[in-house]
């Protein structure tokens, strides 16, 4: 018997679809159902690696974790990773297939549609319910005939749709009404309920509008979800960086993360900002950089292009100057490559430029390769100086996603002991002779509490500042449960169960 399905679509990007899907996955799981997430096509530079080495959108990995299951490529069969010049790498079932211009991508629909539907069918054969996420808006009428992620999916599996609007942006009633007005009649009939998200204020003041909305659309409002800032769920859209506020007036450690034009996997740094006494800022200019204690250059899908950007706006020169004045610098993945002496791209894997000088802060050279390394990894710290002087022997977990090979002549920093579940012994990373510049390909390092705090302690100590840590990392399960209960209190779950066809299947629901 095929699983029941429920789809969450939105009036626009960044209205909260991913978070609502995460919450629903957790609610169904807590109610005793076997549940899995699904998003046919995701466009994101925030990606994750499945246990078997496939690459999917970070949001679907988060949603799988909320379901209590391992992520798989079937949960996000098509991942688009934007590159420079309006092109995207097309990752199909976890592996790069091609790079294409936006105007040519839609010609691939005949090849990609069977991949998408087969992945969804496989999930439906294994679970009780699949919660499906749309992308952007279903009312992009110029793309309706070619899209493979919104109403085309809802029609394929005859899924009921929850349509979400973001009231924090303003104009939520017009957004919901306009979206419904633009849908074809057959698609409109699949929209079973409306949800208003990110509400602040007195719900009573909203009630007249809700009743009029229901009257005009004939579609019930299933709930009004409050705006929250105290539940930490990884975000996949870099638009979320605009909402992040710098924490703390007088931090013990001030961290500036360079907001590259093609920044990727920025959730690497979420745990840093949650430490008491640590401030994390995302900056994109010399003026906003100021004088941080630690500068982080994050991952990038287009290393050479983003390095050009760093140099054009003066950030590369300023970062070098701050290092000479005593600042610490960490580069992750693409940022690691930028910190080296040179980057070569003989096969034009990433750009039309075959050779590029790096920033020269690390004694490494990088060569881009046509194959991508994607692995979940486990390892330990072998360096014992500088940034890692308090971290030797600490074990950690993380993941790799890169198409470059970087050679370091200064000795090993991290020792990888397991890749994609297989034992190995491989070195990673580079630490300069001063101990103040660190580069690595490993994403997720700062999610390891012991390693993260060892690095922060060293930075604070070098500035003669005190840094104390409050408590242990909150288990991510606690965050998912907190989110689920927030949504359960503000969403008519009886209605959701009814439109999904799951009445009577709640084993442990409230």
- Measuring CA to CA, which residue among 23, 34, 191, 33 is closest to residue 123? 34
> Distance between CA atoms of 388 and 394, rounded to whole angstroms?
10
β-strands 328-332, 294-297: how paired?
Answer: parallel
> Distance between CA atoms of 275 and 93, rounded to whole angstroms?
36
Q: How many CB atoms lie within 10 A of CB 343?
A: 26
> Distance between CA atoms of 105 and 80, rounded to whole angstroms?
10
Query: Which tokens belong to 369?
Result: 């390769």
Query: Which tokens belong to 448?
Result: 């390891």
Task: At 488, give phi and psi (nearest 5°).
Answer: -60, -40
CB 333 within 8 A of CB 301: no
Catalytic site includes residue 430: no
> Distance between CA atoms of 229 and 248, rounded to whole angstroms?
15
- Say which of 375, 402, 443, 458 is annotated catalytic: 443
β-strands 395-408, 364-381: how paired?
Answer: antiparallel
> Distance between CA atoms of 307 and 258, rounded to whole angstroms?
11
CB 5 within 8 A of CB 129: yes
- Say which of 333, 375, 402, 408 is annotated catalytic: 333
Catalytic site includes residue 458: no
Place of tokens 């789809």: 7
CB 332 within 8 A of CB 296: yes
Q: Quick one: CA torsion of 439, 441, 446, 452, rounded to 10 degrees?
A: -40
Active site residues: 333, 443
């Amino acid at each position: 018997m095929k699983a029941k399905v429920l789809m969450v679509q939105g009036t626009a990007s960044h209205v909260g679809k991913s978070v609502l899907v995460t919450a629903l996955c957790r609610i169904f799981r807590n109610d005793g159902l076997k549940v899995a997430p699904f998003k046919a096509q995701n466009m994101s530079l925030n990606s994750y690696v499945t246990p078997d080495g496939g690459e999917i959108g970070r949001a679907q990995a988060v949603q799988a974790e909320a379901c209590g299951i391992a992520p798989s490529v079937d949960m996000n069969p098509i991942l688009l990773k934007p590159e420079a010049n309006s092109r995207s790498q097309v990752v199909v079932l976890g592996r790069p297939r091609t790079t294409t211009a936006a105007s040519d991508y839609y010609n691939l629909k005949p090849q990609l549609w069977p991949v998408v539907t087969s992945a969804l069918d496989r999930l439906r054969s294994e679970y009780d319910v699949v919660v499906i996420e749309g992308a952007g808006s279903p009312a992009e009428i110029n793309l309706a005939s070619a899209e493979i992620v919104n109403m085309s999916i809802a029609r394929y599996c005859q899924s009921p749709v929850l349509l979400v609007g973001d009231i924090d942006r303003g104009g939520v009633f017009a957004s919901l009404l306009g979206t419904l007005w633009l849908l074809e009649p057959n698609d409109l009939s699949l929209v079973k309920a409306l949800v208003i998200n990110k509400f602040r204020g007195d719900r009573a003041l909203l009630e007249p509008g809700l009743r009029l909305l229901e009257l005009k659309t004939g579609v019930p409002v299933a709930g009004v979800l409050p705006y929250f800032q105290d539940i930490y769920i990884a975000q996949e859209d870099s638009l979320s960086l605009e909402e992040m506020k710098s924490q703390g007036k007088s931090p013990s450690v001030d961290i500036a993360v360079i907001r590259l034009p093609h920044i990727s996997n920025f959730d690497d740094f979420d745990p840093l900002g949650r430490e008491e006494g640590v401030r994390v800022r995302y900056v994109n200019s010399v003026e906003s950089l100021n004088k941080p204690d630690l500068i982080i250059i994050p991952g990038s899908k287009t290393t050479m292009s983003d390095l050009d950007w760093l140099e054009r706006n003066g950030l590369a020169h300023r970062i070098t100057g701050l290092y000479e004045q005593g600042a610490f610098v960490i580069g992750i993945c693409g940022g690691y490559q930028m910190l080296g002496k040179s980057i070569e791209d003989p096969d034009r894997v990433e750009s039309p430029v075959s050779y590029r000088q790096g920033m020269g802060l690390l004694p490494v050279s990088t060569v881009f390769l046509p194959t991508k390394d994607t692995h979940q990894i486990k390892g330990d710290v072998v360096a014992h100086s500088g940034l890692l002087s308090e971290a030797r022997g600490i074990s950690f977990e993380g993941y790799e996603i890169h198409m470059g090979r970087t050679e370091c002549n200064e000795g090993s920093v991290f020792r990888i002991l397991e890749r994609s579940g297989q034992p190995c012994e491989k070195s990673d990373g580079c630490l300069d002779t001063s101990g103040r510049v660190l580069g690595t390909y490993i994403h997720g390092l700062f999610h390891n509490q012991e390693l993260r705090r060892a690095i922060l302690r060293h930075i604070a100590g070098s500035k003669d500042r005190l840094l104390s840590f409050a408590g242990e990392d909150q288990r991510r399960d606690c965050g998912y449960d907190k989110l689920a209960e927030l949504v359960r209190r503000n969403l008519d779950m009886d209605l959701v169960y009814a439109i999904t066809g799951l009445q009577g299947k709640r084993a442990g629901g409230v």
